[in-house]
Amino acid sequence: MIILGIDTSCDDTSVAVTDDFRVLSNIISSQDDIHAPWGGVVPNLARRAHEQNFPLVFKQALEQAKISEKEIDAIAVTQGHGLAISLEVGVQQARDIATRLQKPLIAVHHSEGHFVASLAADQSGHAPIMLNQIKFPALAILVAGGQTQLVSVSSFGHYEIIGETVDDALGEAFDKAARLLGLGYPGGAELSQKAVHGNAKAYQLPRPMRNSGDLNVSYAGLKTAFLRLVTEIKAQSQSEEFTTEQIQDLAASFQCAAIETLLIKVKKAIEMYGFRQVFLGGGVAANSFLRDRLTSLVNNHAAQLFFPYSTQLCRDNAAMIAVAGYLKAQKNEFVDNINNLDRDPQLTLPQ
């Protein structure tokens, strides 16, 4: 089944084409340069960029997939959650395309896309895991710029949030720490690169809420502690600039604290629920320190860890929405009235 996927939930314009689980194209037009001067996503600018970028991204997705519009069997679009005025652009486009091609429309929850991204297969049909190999209930870990959640997946379409951040998301915490180190926006990936050469034990930072008794995490306290540390170092050296070694050690110490904060709760979740399989998704899933530490943790509990075959499938992208759409199409979950589909920025996960 050929699915056209569309995601404009935040600041990336993405259109993809999939054939069942196989990703034929996954075009992502990043708006990082547009939002960088403001240090965060500016909704009006995001909307305008989505409107400008969409036609080209759509064209490229079809070209790279080597399919014509007529071959599309269904259109899957992110309905929510996300930025209302960004979502609006994708939903409007999806409605227009579905009407023009007279094809069914599938509404997808953005997080559901991240949960199923490990099922996406490359051009030769290889995927980290296949649908019939999944052992439910499984644990889905979503680590993105806007969200940090631990979700128990009893089957696709049925989710229970068992833990989440009570303040900042993990990606957001990385970006704020990166900013304090002068690493640009969004600085998560760059911070993790600096951390590779640093000593994670160089500076002591807290692991907030480690003994909270629940599966929630918090990053606000860590962010404040990091700000204090950075300010102290600058005051001591009487310089606004860090040395290369200081940046690397600060990055490594922050990364270790931020990720251990999450892993303490992941361990607890696996022990409490007895999960045998763990799925990692979201932009921070590209972080190799997280992948390595999580792999050891999961293996020590005789469980298996899966993450998407490419980092393009970790960040916000439309191929994961197309895959989630394909799973919904198998259950005949199409939008009843195409013209009535509206974006829902607060859309909750189906239970």
Residues of this chain that bind ligand KG4 (CB under 6 A):
10, 144-146, 171, 174-175, 186, 188-189, 192, 282-284, 286-287, 315-316
Residue closer to ligand KG4, measured from CB, 128 or 188: 188
What Cα–Cα distance (Å) separates residue 33 from each residue in 139, 270, 317?
Answer: 34, 39, 18
Residue closer to ligand KG4, measured from CB, 10 or 127: 10
* 253, 255, 256, 259 alpha-carbon torsion, rounded to 10°: 160
Q: Smallest gap, in angstroms, from Cβ of residue 259 to ligand KG4?
A: 9
Residue closer to ligand KG4, measured from CB, 284 or 349: 284
Residue closer to ligand KG4, measured from CB, 14 or 246: 14
CA distance 258 to 15: 32
Q: Smallest gap, in angstroms, from Cβ of residue 284 to ligand KG4?
A: 4
Q: Smallest gap, in angstroms, from Cβ of residue 44 to ligand KG4?
A: 17
Is residue 267 within 8 A of residue 298, CB to CB? The reply is no
Residue closer to ligand KG4, measured from CB, 46 or 94: 46
Q: Smallest gap, in angstroms, from Cβ of residue 281 to ligand KG4?
A: 8
Residue closer to ligand KG4, measured from CB, 81 or 328: 81
Residue from 39, 222, 227 nearest 145 by CA? 39
- For the chain, the straight-line distance linking the first and the last C-alpha, in angstroms and rounded, comes to 26
In the block, which residue shows the tokens 């997080």?
A: 111
Residue closer to ligand KG4, measured from CB, 87 or 286: 286
Name the residue with the smallest CB distance to ligand KG4: 283
Q: Smallest gap, in angstroms, from Cβ of residue 188 to ligand KG4?
A: 2
In the block, which residue shows the tokens 């998560």?
A: 188
Q: Smallest gap, in angstroms, from Cβ of residue 78 to ligand KG4?
A: 12
Q: CB under 8 Å to 216, separation ≥6 — which residues? A: 163, 164, 165, 166, 209, 265
Query: DSSP labels for 184-240?
Result: -SS-HHHHHHHHHTS-TTSS----TTTTSSSS-B--HHHHHHHHHHHHHHHHHHT-S
What is residue 264's three-state secondary structure? Answer: helix
Q: Smallest gap, in angstroms, from Cβ of residue 297 to ligand KG4?
A: 18
